[in-house]
Structure 1
Amino acid sequence: MSPHRPCRNGLGLAAALALALAATAPRPAAAQDGRDEGLTVVGKGTARAKPTLAEIDLDVSAAAELTGDAIVKFRDARKRVQDAFAALKLPDVAVEERGLAVDQKGAAFNPYMMDMGMQSKSKAEVQLSRKLVVKATKIEGMEEEAVLQLVGRLLDVAQDAGAHVGPQNNPYMYYRYGNMPSSGLVRFVVEDYDKIKEEAYARAAADARAKAERLARLSGVDLGPVEAVREVSGPGGPNVIYYNGYPEQADGEDPRDRLTTPKFQEVPIRVELSIRFAIKPRAGARP
């Protein structure tokens, strides 16, 4: 008789005992009634909004070798722009001011200078500049031609008053971070952004419930409560698509999250939600 046979018999008895215990062990409740994962569906919701506000960025600046002279010139330039828009007497058009910047005129970033040095004239000129934002409200009910005429009028007034129209291009940001400066002159804004997002989420949840109720009815079970919700895509998510619009982050001067677009048109916001519902045997059904 081989000396190792008793060991093999012992292993066989242990395996048999393990199989017997596994066969008689109670199964989890979820596995017994077939509800391991419940019923998972994906709901889609879309909400559309038309821009309610048009914005135009302006820059007013003045420079001189003496700071006092720069201040006088800057005040005159700023007043000229403010008076030009006040003369329009349009109740839905306003001009907002941003922070004042004091820097050196003619300073330019040179990407080929390893020390990031600045190029300037032998005698520096003090430059004062301020960003102005022209805002035209209540445009959502206007026809496209009327919006075009209004925007064109505002642009002409700004340029005739001596203001620089459009965003300020920063070559350093493009060189360092690859941010391409915007060339848009007008920015259209959806102001009720949070309300539109809420509407898109509500429609996605309703669509998911309708799909789950249909599947439950066809499967002969009753739909239970929501067990889990996962956002597949949505505003701020990795897969969100804004279709000619984009969320604008707060910049410190206007601390709001807004939806902006370079085009005057409806902007759809789309949301997808993956929702898992519990299911249970239909009432009155035979077990």
Structure 2
Amino acid sequence: MRTTRSVVTAAVLIMMIGLGLEARDVLGQVAQTRRTQTTENIEGITVSGKATAYARPDLMEIDLQVASASELTADAIVKYRDAKARIEEAFENLKLDQVEVAELGLLVDQKGPSPNQYGGIDPRATLSAKPEVQLSRKLVVRCSAIEGRDEEELLQLVARLLDVAQDAGGIVGPPPGVNPYQYSSRGIDLSLVRFVVEDFDAVQEQAYEAAIADARARAERIARLSETELGPIVAIQELSRPGDPIANVTRVVLPNEEPPREGRLESNRLQDVPVRVELLVRFQLRPAEDEGADTP
């Protein structure tokens, strides 16, 4: 009986030792795999590359507002049609091939009292004013192919377009009901003229090329200081590109204003517009070769 117990105990011990050895081998393989994966993950360097190129604006835009209001909706429609027709006819009479008038969405709302310079509304105006139906539309006067014109010629053209718009009854500047004091104090651009770059593919290619060269120069310096050799590019991430909205920046939009268009660059100044690119580039790193080693 004792012999049987001893045999069973010995068998259990042998089995436990075997399981322990197998578990150790498995854990060793897992640890080795983790070390290998970690080594593979850190065998590289990630640097940022930045570059800025400049593009000349090729389009000029002027925002106008045509609006009409009346207590009767039918009267407001008639007034709106007449006002819009006057503006369109005025620009057609200029006979400028590179100037066109584009229409944005029609807005139908209720006309209210205008705010004062302090951002408030006179309560006496709300008591005496009767509700009126208001029709308004934003018109964009676009002048293309301006990159070949000098500053004086563009100034004369801007003056001519603004004078024609105001003489025809167009509203130049902020739309009706917008307090310019309130929005100018919050850093909102209320400029009359906008200069646009729509075709910047060639300049963007130059910016990408310069950003990659900048990243390579940074990586080569770090590799030299760490006594390693820089390998090929293994990954590229685009952090920012021209025409995209700025991240983490809250944009304050005017009431009933359409969101900004993507894929183009805008400036309120007549100057070269910067085309900025930022990339995150990952290079492979290799151990530096020993120059003094004997060659076979």
TM-score normalized by the length of structure 2 = 0.67
1:133-212, aligned counterparts within 5 Å? 133-168=140-175, 171=178, 179-192=186-199, 196-197=203-204, 199-212=206-219
For the pair 1:93 / 2:99, whether they are aligned, the reply is yes
Greater CA drift, 265-274 or 226-235? 226-235
For residue 74 of structure 1, what is the aligned residue in structure 2?
80
For residue 259 of structure 1, what is the aligned residue in structure 2?
265
Change in CA separation of 1:204 and 1:85 when aligned onto 2, cut-off 3 Å: same
Unaligned runs of 5+ in 2: 1-27
Equivalent position amino acid for 1:276 in 2: R
| 3-state SS in 1 of match to 2:166 | helix
Is this contact kept in 1: 2:43–2:285, CA < 8 A? no
Equivalent position amino acid for 1:164 in 2: I
Measure, in 2, the Cα distance between the counterparts of 1:173 and 1:165: 12
Measure, in 1, the Cα distance between the counterparts of 2:186 and 2:55: 28
Shift of 1:32: 8.6
Is this contact kept in 2: 1:166–1:185, CA < 8 A? yes
For residue 276 of structure 1, what is the aligned residue in structure 2?
282
Unaligned runs of 5+ in 1: 1-21, 241-245
Richer in helix (by share): 2
Structure 1, residues 100-131: CA drift from partner, whole Å, max 9, x if none? 22223334579779xxxx93645433222211
Change in CA separation of 1:227 and 1:74 when aligned onto 2, cut-off 3 Å: same
For residue 54 of structure 2, what is the aligned residue in structure 1?
48
Measure, in 1, the Cα distance between the counterparts of 2:53 and 2:42: 34
Shift of 1:155: 0.5
Equivalent position amino acid for 1:208 in 2: A
Change in CA separation of 1:68 and 1:169 when aligned onto 2, cut-off 3 Å: closer
Measure, in 1, the Cα distance between the counterparts of 2:39 and 2:179: 65
Structure 1, residues 18-60: CA drift from partner, whole Å, max 9, x if none? xxxx9xx979569999x94534444331121111111111111
Measure, in 2, the Cα distance between the counterparts of 1:125 and 1:237: 39
Shift of 1:196: 4.6
For residue 15 of structure 2, what is the aligned residue in structure 1?
none
Equivalent position amino acid for 1:166 in 2: G
Measure, in 2, the Cα distance between the counterparts of 1:174 and 1:266: 29
Change in CA separation of 1:234 and 1:77 when aligned onto 2, cut-off 3 Å: closer
Shift of 1:270: 2.9
For residue 243 of structure 1, what is the aligned residue in structure 2?
none
For residue 126 of structure 1, what is the aligned residue in structure 2?
133
Larger radius of gyration: 2
Measure, in 2, the Cα distance between the counterparts of 1:57 and 1:138: 18
Greater CA drift, 211-220 or 257-266? 211-220
Measure, in 1, the Cα distance between the counterparts of 2:52 and 2:234: 24
Measure, in 2, the Cα distance between the counterparts of 1:183 and 1:255: 17
Say what the alpha-carbon RMSD is for the aligned residues: 4.2
| 3-state SS in 1 of match to 2:149 | coil
Change in CA separation of 1:195 and 1:174 when aligned onto 2, cut-off 3 Å: farther
| 3-state SS in 1 of match to 2:79 | helix
Measure, in 2, the Cα distance between the counterparts of 1:124 and 1:191: 42
Measure, in 2, the Cα distance between the counterparts of 1:60 and 1:232: 40
